[in-house]
Amino acid sequence: MRIIEEIQEEAQATNNAIKKAITSGNSLVQKFYDDAVVFITGGSGFVGKHMIDKIFRSTNVRKIYMLLRVKKGKTVQERLKAVLDDPLFEELLKEQPNVANKLVVVEGDSSKDNLGIDEKNWARLTDEVNVIFHAAASVNFRETLKMATFTNIKGTREVLKLAKACKHLKSVIHVSTAYTHATRDRIKGEVKEDFYESPIHPETMIQLAETMDDEKLDAMFQPFLVQRPNSYAITKAVAEELVRVMGEGLPICIVRPAIVIAAYREPTLGWVDVQNVYGPSGIILGLGLGVMHTLLADNIKVDVVPVDIVSNAIIISAMETYERFSRGNQELKIYTVSGNRNPLTYGELHNVVDNESRALIPPQALWYCSVLVTSNKYFHLLLTLIFHYIPAVIVDGCCLLVGQKARLLKVYKLAHSLTSVLSFYLNNEWNFHDENTLSLHNKLSETDKVIYNCDITSVHMRELILVWSYGVGKFVVKDDLKNRDYAMKKQSVLKIIHYIIVPLYFFGLYKLTSAVITFAYFVVAMFFKYIMALF
């Protein structure tokens, strides 16, 4: 595989070609967005931020309204500044220094009535907005069902209410997930770009969330967890049903991306949101820092898609929906963005991470980077105990003795929580159909195929994993690769130490376990001897 420097050169050439196509004036997608006013929810999230950047870079929109809520004591303006400080927008701000004037914050909350928007702003939005992107969602797989319902289902209802009130609406795009209907009974089966039966009626779900406490609501939905393993999957499925029913008569579509990872090419190679460490990127981070040494995964297809491919599909789906609706075709289309036509297995992913990505290991790595992958959950738990928890207790104990803060056990608890919530998707596969998305790409003009490429077969998947590893290092760890020689030498030393310490560690565990068993046997024997003496 090519080294990262070669990939960077190709990425720069690709981005130069995109810039040239943008300035050509031959883009039909650009014409659709000319002087348009866009409203986006979830604009501070991973996909949302990338969409905002791409829309501003490639079109001449008049304005983008972004829904933001006050969070952790920060005002919406402070949160907007934090969004624009992301390295993602660096190139955009150089090219368009005044672009921030076209990005307008609307204070609100997608889980509230009318999205938490006051009457004045609501009226302004209904007067001006042409295109709505609903990308806000609670993606915390461990979220309570009540909160997930308010954000993912009620939020969708309120967005549709806004859409129906807009006087100059062209299209509405609901961003869902390919895993909405990736149920247990469809494992290794097909998931079509179509609607499936909802677990429950949307309004009923909202009413239950508004009237029941968390404990009762979660208990009531335990049977639903047999097919869908978390509140996210359940509520996103119900939200799609809400779009089907309430979206009738609206120029609306649904986009279902699979697992969204780092940017493949634009606007900068490997860009990934720092908050992604709480998702699949956290696994890449853990492996790269030498923190994670065991992973529960089967050698099946891993359905990852780069965020730039996803953004492009969402942006062009708005134009396609508008044109179809204008022709009198009110069919609600679903576009799945999947890697199914360009498959990658976990074995291949592991091979890239363990070999090519090794050259990108940051100097901040805590230990020698190696991992044991197993699909057996019991063996994985044993490995987790041996390679994660026991060393963490030992290291944290030593830290406390010298007056340092104990952190490693907390890190491993977080890592175990992450792999646990993802295990259903890491150990099962589905055949996601994406014919609508392929058709969407094929209908584009040659210029728009350059600017808004959403063809997953154009992505070299093994190379994408290397780019992902590079992005996690650059944008999460903040490693600029200037100390690569030091990082490799450090890994060489840690490898020697690793293979010296591990046998000693296992020998110590064996001796400790033998001593514990012997002591337990002695205690039990003495106890029975005492009991026998009494009789």
Q: Which of 62, 55, 224, 42 is nearest to 129 (CA)?
A: 62
CB 458 within 8 A of CB 308: no
Q: CA-to-CA distance for 234 and 183, rounded, in angstroms?
A: 10
Residue range 111-127: mean pLDDT, rounded: 95
Residue range 306-335: mean pLDDT, rounded: 96
Q: Token pair of 107, please? A: 């204070």
Q: Is the dihedral of CA 22, 264, 460, 423 positive or negative?
A: negative
Concatenated DSSP letters of 398-411: HHHHTTPPP-HHHH
pLDDT at 515 over 90: no
pLDDT at 257 over 80: yes
Q: CA-to-CA distance for 157 and 159, rounded, in angstroms?
A: 5
Q: CA-to-CA distance for 283 and 236, rounded, in angstroms?
A: 24
The 10s digit of each residue's pLDDT in 62-108 is 999 999 998 888 899 989 999 999 999 999 999 999 998 999 999 99
Domain residue ranges in the chain:
4-273+301-343+430-475
Q: What is the DSSP letter of 199?
A: S
CATH architecture, domain defined by 4-273+301-343+430-475:
3-Layer(aba) Sandwich (3.40)
Q: Which of 460, 482, 502 is nearest to 356 (CA)?
A: 460
Element (H, E) at 284: helix 280-288
Place of tokens 């094929």: 442
| pLDDT tier for residue 534 given thresholds of 50, 70 and 90 | low
Q: Which of 443, 491, 422, 446 is nearest to 320 (CA)?
A: 443
Q: What is the DSSP letter of 166?
A: -
Q: Token pair of 10, please? A: 């190709």
Global pTM? 0.92
The 10s digit of each residue's pLDDT in 409-467 is 888 888 888 777 788 888 899 999 999 999 999 999 999 999 999 999 999 999 999 99
Q: Locate the DSSP E strands across 62-166.
A: 63-68, 103-107, 131-134
Q: Which amino acid is at 470?
A: Y
Beta bridge partners, 173, equal: 133, 253
Q: CA-to-CA distance for 168 and 308, rounded, in angstroms?
A: 28
Q: C-alpha 291: how far from its chain's center?
A: 21
Q: What is the 3-state secondary structure (H, E, C) of 29-82?
A: HHHHHCCCEEEEECCCCHHHHHHHHHHHHHCCCCEEEEEECCECCECHHHHHHH
Q: Which residues contact 204 (CB under 8 A, 6 or more apart)?
A: none
The 10s digit of each residue's pLDDT in 239-250 is 999 999 999 999
CA dist 5 → 2, 18, 359, 462 (Å) = 8, 20, 12, 16
CB 241 within 8 A of CB 195: yes
Q: Which amino acid is at 526?
A: M
Q: CA-to-CA distance for 295 and 315, rounded, in angstroms?
A: 35
Bond into 97 cis (ω within 30): no
Q: Token pair of 271, please? A: 């860009």
Q: C-alpha 258: how far from its chain's center?
A: 9
Residue range 322-343: mean pLDDT, rounded: 94
CB 444 within 8 A of CB 452: yes
- Average pLDDT across the chain, whole number: 91
